[in-house]
C-alpha cells in the first residue's frame, strides 16, 4: 500500500484514490505514487475503466507550494519533466479514465483532471489554473491540454487571470462533461465506468489511441492512423466475437484478446 495514492479494483472498475488530507496537495511523493498507480491500472487485465477520485471533499487543490518554494532553476529543471510525465502516465492509460471532481480542482489538480478522458463534476466544485498568481505558469499540462479542450482563447483567459470558475461555467466551456450534485459524483462516475466493464478492451484502447494521437496529426495522417488501428482490430478475437454476436442476436463475450 502506498501512503497517499492507491489503486482499488472492483467488478472491472479501478479507482485511483488520492488521500493526502486536507487538500490532496500533489507533492513529489504523491506524484510518484500517482504514476505507479496509473501504470498498474493500465497493466491490470481485469480493469476495463478507471476513476480518479480525491474523496468527498476535494479532488486536488494543486501542487505542494511549500515543497516548491525553496526550489531554484537547477532543481525544478530536473523535477518539472518528472511532474509532467507523472500526469502523462494517467493520460496514457489505455482505458477510459474518468475524473470524479469534488471540491477544488486547482493548478495541478485541474491538470490531473485534464489528463483524464471524461470529467464528472460536483455542482459546487471550483476549477482553475491559478499559477500565474504565484509568478509561474501551469507546468503539468495546463498550457497544452486546456487549450486543446476548451480552445486557445478561453484557455489563455483562464491561465492569464488565474481565476477560479464554478461547475456551471466549466460545463458551458467544455472543461467538464457532466455536473451532478456533490453527493452523487462518485456514484455517477461508477455508473459511467460500468458501461465499459464488459466492453472490448483492445477496441477501447485503439479508440483512445486514434483520438489522442490523431489530434497531433494533420487530417490525412490522422485518417491513415485510424485505418491502421481499425484494420489491426480484425486480428483480435473480440472483433470477430462482436460481429458474430451481432449477427446471432446475442450479447458478446469480450475477453480482451
Task: Report the pLDDT value the prediction gives residue 66, as an integer from 0 to 100.
Answer: 87
Query: What are 32-79's pLDDT values in tens digits?
Result: 999 999 999 999 999 999 999 999 999 999 888 888 888 899 989 888
- The catalytic residue positions are 111, 131
Query: What are 72-106's pLDDT values in tens digits?
Result: 999 898 888 998 999 999 999 999 999 999 999 99
Task: Report the pLDDT value the prediction gives residue 233, as an integer from 0 to 100.
Answer: 97
Backbone angles phi, psi at 101, to 5 degrees: -100, 120
pTM value is 0.95
Task: Report the pLDDT value the prediction gives residue 157, as an integer from 0 to 100.
Answer: 98
What residue ranges define each of the domains in the chain, with the CATH number in brackets? 5-194 (3.90.226.10), 201-248 (1.10.12.10)
Share of the chain above pLDDT 70, in %: 100
Question: Cα 21 to chain center, whole Å?
Answer: 21
Alpha helices in the chain (DSSP H): 28-43, 65-69, 73-91, 108-114, 142-150, 152-161, 167-173, 185-194, 201-214, 219-232, 237-248
Interstrand relation of 126-128 and 104-106 (parallel, antiparallel or unpaired): parallel
Amino acid at each position: 500500500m502506498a501512503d497517499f495514492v492507491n489503486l482499488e479494483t472492483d467488478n472491472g472498475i479501478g479507482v485511483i484514490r488520492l488521500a493526502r488530507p486536507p487538500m490532496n496537495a500533489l507533492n513529489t511523493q504523491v506524484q510518484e505514487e500517482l504514476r505507479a498507480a496509473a501504470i498498474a491500472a493500465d497493466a491490470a487485465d481485469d480493469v476495463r475503466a478507471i476513476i480518479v477520485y480525491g474523496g468527498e471533499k476535494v479532488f486536488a487543490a494543486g501542487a505542494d507550494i511549500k515543497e516548491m518554494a525553496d526550489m531554484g532553476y537547477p532543481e525544478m529543471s530536473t523535477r518539472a519533466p518528472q511532474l509532467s510525465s507523472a500526469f502523462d502516465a494517467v493520460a496514457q492509460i489505455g482505458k477510459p479514465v474518468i475524473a470524479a471532481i469534488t471540491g477544488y480542482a486547482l493548478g495541478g489538480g485541474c491538470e490531473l483532471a485534464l489528463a483524464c478522458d471524461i470529467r464528472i463534476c460536483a455542482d459546487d466544485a471550483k476549477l482553475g489554473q491559478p499559477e500565474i498568481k504565484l509568478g509561474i505558469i501551469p507546468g503539468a499540462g495546463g498550457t497544452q491540454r486546456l487549450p486543446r479542450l476548451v480552445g486557445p482563447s478561453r484557455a489563455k483567459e483562464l491561465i492569464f487571470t488565474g481565476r477560479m470558475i464554478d461547475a456551471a461555467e466549466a460545463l458551458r466551456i467544455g472543461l467538464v462533461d457532466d455536473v451532478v450534485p456533490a453527493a452523487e459524483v462518485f456514484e455517477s462516475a461508477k455508473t459511467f465506468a460500468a458501461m465499459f466493464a464488459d466492453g472490448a478492451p483492445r477496441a477501447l484502447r485503439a479508440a483512445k489511441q486514434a483520438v489522442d494521437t490523431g489530434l497531433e496529426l494533420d487530417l490525412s495522417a490522422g485518417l491513415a492512423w485510424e485505418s491502421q488501428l481499425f484494420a489491426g482490430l480484425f486480428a483480435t478475437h473480440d472483433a470477430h466475437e462482436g460481429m458474430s454476436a451481432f449477427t446471432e442476436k446475442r450479447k458478446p463475450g469480450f475477453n480482451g484478446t
